[in-house]
Amino acid sequence: IIRLCSLPLCVMPSKSYYLNSKVEPGLQSGFSGQKRKRECSSDSEEELEDLDPEPKHPWDVETLCGLEMTLKRQRVYLVQPEHHEVFARLLEDPVVKRFLAWDKKLRVSDKYLLSMVIAYFSRAGLFSWQYQRIHFFLALYLANDMEEDNQAPKQDIFHFLYGKSHAQRPLFHKLRYQFIRSMGWNTWVSREECEEIQTYNPELWVWGRDRLKSLA
């Protein structure tokens, strides 16, 4: 039996924005029918110049043709460099390294599932130093839960961590529930985001874990 963590799982409030958050219907076309009158004094204008510009709306108008409008979704990625650093640090953990070497057929840890681990780190709201070994396995289990139709391979994670013992599984599922809640239940990760995550450090050795190539 592998001791995953000697400290309780730290759960911070989830971030208030996510990649698949709903977008308000308001649009900015970038065109105005009338010129706005200047009603502010020069002093107030100087104060306004000091303010930060408003963030761009995630939907931009790409083309206008008569009454038809074409919208283009802006890509917004919330994964920060520190999340990649946390992931790289955990790859050096001896238990994580043994697990990845043990999963030779990449049933539960191919490059896309590992990319989702980084995406989940970015959404959980923890400080970089708070991520421990247990978070890697919680995120990887959740990635398999979301993406794999066959639920049997997930049992491989339990088999590696706990052997035939079932005593620790209820605690694992309790921590998994807390981890999901810390992400605001935002567990879906697109393939596009996974590939964007991989391009941050394309030389990282785990991005060579291509399941299709391994089966060829």
| Domain positions in the chain | 81-215
Whether 46 shows a pLDDT value over 60: the answer reads no
150-163 mean pLDDT: 87
Look at residue 3 in the predicted model and tell me its pLDDT.
Answer: 54
**Banded pLDDT at 48 (limits 50, 70, 90):** very low
pLDDT in tens, 28-40: 434 344 444 444 4
Calculate the alpha carbon distances from 48 to 32, 34, 51 in Å.
20, 21, 5
Whether 15 shows a pLDDT value over 80: the answer reads no
* CA gap 146, 187 in Å, rounded: 7
CB 124 within 8 Å of CB 87: no
Whether 58 shows a pLDDT value over 90: the answer reads no
pLDDT in tens, 117-146: 999 999 998 999 999 999 999 999 999 999
* CA gap 168, 119 in Å, rounded: 26
Percent of the chain with pLDDT over 70: 63
Look at residue 1 in the predicted model and tell me its pLDDT.
Answer: 53
Name the token pair of 83: 């999340």
Name the token pair of 59: 């939907």
Whether 114 shows a pLDDT value over 90: the answer reads yes
Average pLDDT, the chain: 76
Among 33-37, 92-96, 159-163, the least confident range: 33-37
pTM of the model: 0.65
Look at residue 113 in the predicted model and tell me its pLDDT.
Answer: 97
Q: Exposed, middle or buried by CB within 10 Å (0-12, 13-18, 19+), for 24?
A: exposed
CB 117 within 8 Å of CB 143: yes
Hey, which residues does 69 pair with through a beta bridge? 64
Name the token pair of 166: 């079932």
* CA gap 71, 57 in Å, rounded: 12
Whether 67 shows a pLDDT value over 70: the answer reads no
